[in-house]
Structure 1
């Protein structure tokens, strides 16, 4: 189900009520698999957690896109063009080719020495083993075991011939064991087919122009230059679906059963020793519980940890239902990542194409959903705005018209008490006076200040100082929160202060969409502060709404 509606129409509330209903009506199914709610930012998820705190007790995972891949938590952004490239559907093919390129035959035959006996690993033998492993269609790391086994059999036959041995099953097993312990053989197998993690694959891919060109021949050199970076760079939001794509193709790195058993035994021995010391130091050494029982009890407790915790830590977890809010911002690669979390495709998708502003976002629902569900989806429209007064929505609607955005602004149920305020004065002192006046006007509630990113830290500090010292903020009755324009989707405030709108959209991919989002956050008052000229589209919208 797609729930589409403009600002303030209650899309999120509808989605949450639907989840609550499904958790009740299909308790058995969802209790086993849980539900996933994906929001645009941590502030939005905090709001959801406050509205429906019971969700956390019924197997619901709250996550941003930057947290969907276990072990990674990021809000870092790529440059817009790089983000658009990484979000393109074709990057799935790039990752697939990058994985294929990690298994390769040597350029020449390789001489090997096995306990003094010389044999030759031929290029053709390696190629044949690679083909056989790939033909299994197993993930890369699982197919590696097939490759290694095939190659070891071929080498065992050569070694038997060199030693003038009759090759039977027992002899072959002994020779393969010798080959496994040979440094030369281990080196060559790894050079031909090295185990890979998604993190290693992506770090190497973006650190090498040669690797990137081989995996993405369709990219121009200028495009590759946008993607190249140091291999130790922090992960970005656009990297997360690529890591997920790579994980799907690579699979887990297999560890031999004997190695796993030895590791498990060693870990248990350490835990028992620690438990014995803990019981002794606490005077419980003579109690009814042994160190072994103590360890087993906590192992059981871990296995019984809340479903939401286990689901969030498991990349392959299949959720019973998935909710995606602000879904108009998703790229093709992000959609692929999300669809893997919902094999049943039981989903509630919430969004407003008129608010789309992310690089590479697919704002058309058919284009976004068709690869995964074809036409097995339906859409419902919400057209009434319960948040923003009509006086403010008049300006927002005119902005859509002036900017030729193909969307209809929702109709507000309230006229509102205050007209839009146009102010000058963006210095620290002037902003402080403005915020204090707004606090005195609304008396209770939250003021949201939207500023250009370079101003964010200074204005946030200014706001914190004011709230703690100015009595007009009513000892915490009025709060002030500061955001960049890209971080306010899904949020609402009693008063919104837009500081220098021209600065706010200077680097926007969709300036009209970003302004539309900023204009539609208030529940009561909107103040636009600028020492310079307003963006032409905003100036025209304000003038048109006034007449």
Structure 2
């Protein structure tokens, strides 16, 4: 990281930030030399730990299974002990007060100890590291001094000290008070998202370190770091509850593949490689999506009422016994009256277990009735006889007729193609008009010919869970949750039915017709009516000029929702370039050329319909660029990326060129959704935003 500096007498001295009197710069050459020596020592100890682990022999385990398991554990341990020469093993330090031990702790991404077991670097997730993030003059937490380090290509280049015993005006827990923090936040980006482990703020740290049993909903404005906070929470949970989560697993759910590629490096950089990643589409992959629903249909299919409709559709398939079960065995015929069967069926339904599990229990129930009758006749049957009866052809055929085997596709196919079946399941839940909207026009003859839509995937997932319980993970991180329908939220929630959730989003960035308007409603659909709601409104990523410009949209698209507060001293750059239609492509090329003159990433964002034309203009002008979308994207990182508006959410670039805001608004089904999409697009910039337009800007942007 490049830290602002001044040259004095040939040595490099960090420029003091606009800190309070409690921040000081010591004898820089001596201090940096001492700290660099500690870093070199830490690297040597990490190498020793890695080599020691690498020498362990998994074949000494007691058996082949244990040997294989131990081998995997050791391989993972060796991988976690790799050193990255481009960065340092620690980014900060705390010195405790004499009454708290008078000790020094260097805080880094992973724990490093010497050959005696004493800590050389403490993991940022360790309890002692909490004070590095949260200590303040008002609540020093036993800390005398907090030190932050500047880094350039793996070496320490600067440091800042903050003495928590002296109180200056305005306090010390503001990122604007630290030049090193500001430089790290504003450092040019390339490739995927970085971790924020060295810049976590107190309010973010409280979320990160929330207990595993707590489900948290984070309402976070653009630039507040909510995505990074969610990922760091996953890393902290895996550190603090490793044994439990190693068994049950952790899942991160994002809106699209480009987003997952963007965040994919964060957890590995923190030493966690066992977290699953999925988009909502890959999570609900129950078949091939071959059609697209009209908006009205998609909204209705995402409605929570469909859960009860599907529940009725499944359980209505259980018949009512009208005839007795007769089981021939040897020379005898054993008869179970219909009323006994009905009692068993009612009891199984009342247990609240899944359809298939209850169905599997029925043969044993019926066989038990037969055994009771055998015993009353003087026989002495055992459990083996009951199992034989339960598997016999008469019982199997009777159960099949009474309680048929179902699969999700067959249930949904019948519901959407049979008006009578839908009317029965939706009675009192959906109006006749809504039922007509759901029914297929000219339904396919077989379920194999069904043209499933994206909205159908959540319905199929619901049916699958009604039939067989969805396995639960220990923790699920759900990002951009505001864009999911109630049925999609239910699908995510059941994957944490016995675990907990970290839900991340921003009501103002809801860009789907079914976007939630209330976190209380969304958390209810996720199965977490009791949860902790946290609001992050301090914007560390998006600069002030950009936030102020984008926030002009808020009154028209999200009345009552407060604008984020930019906390960086650097206000960033904002340019609005008006042109005509003929000159727009040239203006975009000029803006991109100006952007690439500085280091860092550049995002060129336009409507999905216009990206081809803009890409052609950049190619004709000789501007190298990539493209982020499912059909054209690749794994190569480029300085300039062309981004369709549909996948811009969650991404960030140092400089952003937004093309034709009015077209971005008009591309959405309604004005509010269009303004929200534009709000998302405008807030992707970390340092500079350029808006190029030939059409008049949307009216809210011209206010003020």
| Equivalent position of 1:293 in the other structure | none
Please point out which of 364, 381, 390 is paired with 2:518: 364
- C-alpha deviations, 1:171-200, integer Å up to 9, x for none? 999999799765x87666434321112233
**1:384–1:180: structure 2 CA closer, same or farther, 3 Å change rule?**
closer
3-state SS of paired residue (2:689): strand
| Equivalent position of 1:222 in the other structure | 433
Q: Is 1:488 equivalent to 2:648 in the alignment?
A: yes
Q: CA deviation at 1:22?
A: 2.5
Paired with 1:31 and 1:153, the residues of 2 have a C-alpha distance of 40
Paired with 2:595 and 2:279, the residues of 1 have a C-alpha distance of 32
Paired with 1:75 and 1:29, the residues of 2 have a C-alpha distance of 40
| Equivalent position of 2:575 in the other structure | 419
Paired with 2:418 and 2:430, the residues of 1 have a C-alpha distance of 14
Q: CA deviation at 1:212?
A: 1.7
Q: CA deviation at 1:155?
A: 9.4
CA contact (8 A) 1:439 1:478 kept: no
CA contact (8 A) 1:3 1:349 kept: yes
CA contact (8 A) 1:354 1:406 kept: no
Which structure 2 residues correspond to residues 146-185 of structure 1 after superposition, within 5 A? Answer: 146-149=361-364, 168=379
| Equivalent position of 1:442 in the other structure | 595
Which structure 2 residues correspond to residues 106-145 of structure 1 after superposition, within 5 A? Answer: 127-128=342-343, 130-145=345-360
**1:71–1:15: structure 2 CA closer, same or farther, 3 Å change rule?**
same
| Equivalent position of 1:250 in the other structure | 467
Q: Is 1:213 equivalent to 2:427 in the alignment?
A: no
| Equivalent position of 1:352 in the other structure | 506
CA contact (8 A) 1:157 1:167 kept: no
| Equivalent position of 1:394 in the other structure | 548
Q: CA deviation at 1:449?
A: 2.6
Please point out which of 235, 239, 242 is paired with 2:456: 239
Please point out which of 473, 479, 494 is paired with 2:624: 473
| Equivalent position of 1:527 in the other structure | 691
Paired with 1:442 and 1:502, the residues of 2 have a C-alpha distance of 25
Q: CA deviation at 1:399?
A: 1.7
Paired with 2:515 and 2:573, the residues of 1 have a C-alpha distance of 36
Paired with 2:521 and 2:641, the residues of 1 have a C-alpha distance of 39
**1:344–1:422: structure 2 CA closer, same or farther, 3 Å change rule?**
farther
3-state SS of paired residue (1:473): coil
Higher strand share: 2
Q: CA deviation at 1:219?
A: 0.8
**1:54–1:194: structure 2 CA closer, same or farther, 3 Å change rule?**
farther
CA contact (8 A) 1:199 1:243 kept: yes
Q: Is 1:335 equivalent to 2:496 in the alignment?
A: no
CA contact (8 A) 1:111 1:118 kept: no
CA contact (8 A) 1:467 1:480 kept: no
CA contact (8 A) 1:76 1:235 kept: yes
Q: Bigger CA drift: 66-75 or 399-408?
A: 66-75
Paired with 1:491 and 1:57, the residues of 2 have a C-alpha distance of 22
Which structure 2 residues correspond to residues 489-508 of structure 1 after superposition, within 5 A? Answer: 489-493=649-653, 494-499=655-660, 500-507=663-670
Paired with 1:86 and 1:440, the residues of 2 have a C-alpha distance of 45
**1:180–1:349: structure 2 CA closer, same or farther, 3 Å change rule?**
closer
3-state SS of paired residue (1:103): coil
CA contact (8 A) 2:254 2:260 kept: yes
CA contact (8 A) 2:472 2:499 kept: no
CA contact (8 A) 1:330 1:361 kept: yes
Q: Is 1:511 equivalent to 2:666 in the alignment?
A: no
Q: Is 1:383 equivalent to 2:600 in the alignment?
A: no
| Equivalent position of 2:476 in the other structure | 322
Q: CA deviation at 1:389?
A: 5.1
- C-alpha deviations, 1:498-542, integer Å up to 9, x for none? 3423532344663332232233223422324355x55xxx22x23
CA contact (8 A) 2:259 2:651 kept: yes
CA contact (8 A) 1:318 1:340 kept: no
3-state SS of paired residue (1:425): coil
Q: CA deviation at 1:213?
A: 1.6
- C-alpha deviations, 1:286-337, integer Å up to 9, x for none? xxxxxxxxxxxxxxxxxxxxxxxxxxxxx51422x32111122233333332
Q: CA deviation at 1:442?
A: 0.9
Q: CA deviation at 1:170?
A: 6.1
| Equivalent position of 1:49 in the other structure | 264
**1:140–1:420: structure 2 CA closer, same or farther, 3 Å change rule?**
same
- C-alpha deviations, 1:34-71, integer Å up to 9, x for none? 32111111111110103443478532011111222465
CA contact (8 A) 1:440 1:473 kept: no
Q: CA deviation at 1:450?
A: 2.3
**1:114–1:449: structure 2 CA closer, same or farther, 3 Å change rule?**
same
Q: CA deviation at 1:93?
A: 1.6
CA contact (8 A) 2:389 2:395 kept: no
**1:57–1:33: structure 2 CA closer, same or farther, 3 Å change rule?**
same
CA contact (8 A) 1:496 1:525 kept: yes
**1:94–1:492: structure 2 CA closer, same or farther, 3 Å change rule?**
same
Higher helix share: 1
* Aligned length in residues: 460
Q: CA deviation at 1:488?
A: 2.0
What RMSD over aligned residues (CA atoms) do the two structures have, in Å? Answer: 4.1
Paired with 1:504 and 1:76, the residues of 2 have a C-alpha distance of 20
Q: CA deviation at 1:477?
A: 5.6
Paired with 2:339 and 2:307, the residues of 1 have a C-alpha distance of 30
Q: CA deviation at 1:12?
A: 1.2
TM-score after normalising by structure 1: 0.70
3-state SS of paired residue (2:561): coil
3-state SS of paired residue (1:387): coil
